[in-house]
Amino acid sequence: MMRHPKKHSDTDRDAAQMLLATGVVLLMSLLSMAIFGVKVAGLTLPHDTASDGVIVTSGEVGDSIPELTSARTQIWIDGGVGPLEAGELAISSVHDDLLHHGEIRGIEIKMIDIEVTQSDSSTLRITGELGVSDGVAMLTIPLNFTVTHA
C-alpha cells in the first residue's frame, strides 16, 4: 500500500509564513535591544588616547588650592575661629567645592589624607594628595604648601 504525501492547504502555508515572520520580527527586536544596550554601556565610544583632561585639571586645581585655602583660612580667622580650626575648615570647604566642580566636568577630583598642622603662630602647613580621574586615566600628585595668616 502506497501512501500519498499529504497536501498542504493554503491555510497551512499562510500559518507557517506568519510564524516565520513573527520569528524574524522577534529576532530583529532582540538585536535592536542588544545594540542599544551596548551603546548605553558606552562601548561604542572611541577611546581618545590623546586626551589630556586629567593632566590639565590636575595643574589647574593644584595651582589654585593654596591661594584659595589661604583666603578661606583668613576669612575664618577674621570671623573669630582659631587658626588651626580655620585651616581645617578652609581645606574641607575647598575639597567639597572641588568634588562638586569635578562632578560637573565629569572628572573626579579628591583630596586624600589631608593634614593641617600649625608650624608657628602665623603659619599652617597643609599636606596630602590630590587625585584626579576621568574614568580613563588617573593622576595623583602630592600637596604640600603653607598658609600664612595675620
What pLDDT, in 10s, does the model give residues 12-64?
Answer: 888 888 888 888 888 887 777 776 665 555 544 444 444 677 888 888 888 88
Q: Structural domain of residue 28, as residue ranges?
A: 10-41
Domain check: are 32 and 74 in the same one? Answer: no
**Cβ neighbours of residue 75 under 8 Å, at least 6 residues apart?**
90
Domain check: are 89 and 131 in the same one? Answer: yes
Counted domains in the chain: 2
**Cβ neighbours of residue 140 under 8 Å, at least 6 residues apart?**
112, 129, 130, 131, 132
Determine the Cα–Cα distance for residues 50 and 54; give it in Å rounded to an integer. Answer: 11
Say if pTM beats, i.e. exceeds, 0.85. no
Say if 129 falls within a structural domain. yes
Question: What's the DSSP call for residue 136?
Answer: S
Say if 37 falls within a structural domain. yes
Say if 47 falls within a structural domain. no
Say if 5 falls within a structural domain. no
Domain check: are 67 and 25 in the same one? Answer: no
> CA gyration radius for the chain?
32
